[in-house]
Structure 1
Amino acid sequence: MIINNKRNLFKFVALSAVLAVTSCNNADFFNEYRSLPNGWEKSEPVVFSFESLDTVAKRNAYINVRTTSEYPYSNLYVIIKTTPPEGDAIVDTLQYQMANADGSMLGSGFTDVKEHRLIWREKTSFKKQGVYKVEIQHAIRKVNEVKGDAVLNGITDIGLQLQ
């Protein structure tokens, strides 16, 4: 009888902990990935489209990048072009640190594949209802070279996450 009550108590505590943790997480409004099996070609931006009906809610926006040990740089430069349903496109040029000074990759993961969750915008809102288009293009180039890398190797997936 005592063992059975202890098991029930354990189940109750475990279930309560799971519910407490999951209820505090931010819900994703949008979360998609694009696979890049042959590397990230500079001439082909990664494109996402989503519909926003809420013009008031504040959302955090992330660019999610999966890299392998073949990624040759310690940083990542991206150009993000956001086209609202009506009006002019907004262009952001951003730099993210991808590796430590010793060359070890930042991000999460236990294998040579690392997940990088890169903040793009904090507490942003989409002021017009309709379909938004987001294009992400890499802007990596070698030092003292004007022309960028045609193909950026070591990146397997690019994602857009809005919470």
Structure 2
Amino acid sequence: MKRLKALLMATMTIIGLTFTVMAPSAAAVTPDGTQVACGRSGYGVGLYFNSDVSGSKRCIYGNVSNYAYNGTLCTSQGCPPYRYELDGRNGEGQTVKNNAASVYNYSGDVISIFFGSGWTGPWDSFPYYGYVGSALWYGNLHSTYNENASHRRTALG
């Protein structure tokens, strides 16, 4: 009986360890230590007010042709602009348009941030989340640093 009990305990321990290793983490963390809240179904992009993915953050899903108009919040009075919303951080409440310094691509697609509205002008692109190669899926904007007006996802393959 003791042997059976010991075997059962060992088996349960192995099963528990297997599930612990296989289970995804409760919340991914960006390089500045903030928890990821943009990863809904792998479509999000996080725009940050400061360089090095820091400061206030705005999570946006899908393509946006002009950050000056948040089509998801339109009323009979019009559409408000996208604004930074991470509480208590530098840039909170500021408009996203022409105020982004860095980006974190939580999606499974390439994200391109454009200088102009309607996906025009110079752009910065970031590969899909988790990409392992010469480019990272997050970082500072260069061609569109504080001059960003729109972004578009490009599906792979």
Q: Could you tell me the TM-score, scaled by structure 1's length?
A: 0.31
Q: Which has the higher strand share?
A: 1
- Highest RCO, 1 vs 2 (Cα 8 Å, sep ≥ 6): 1
TM-score by length of structure 2 reads 0.32
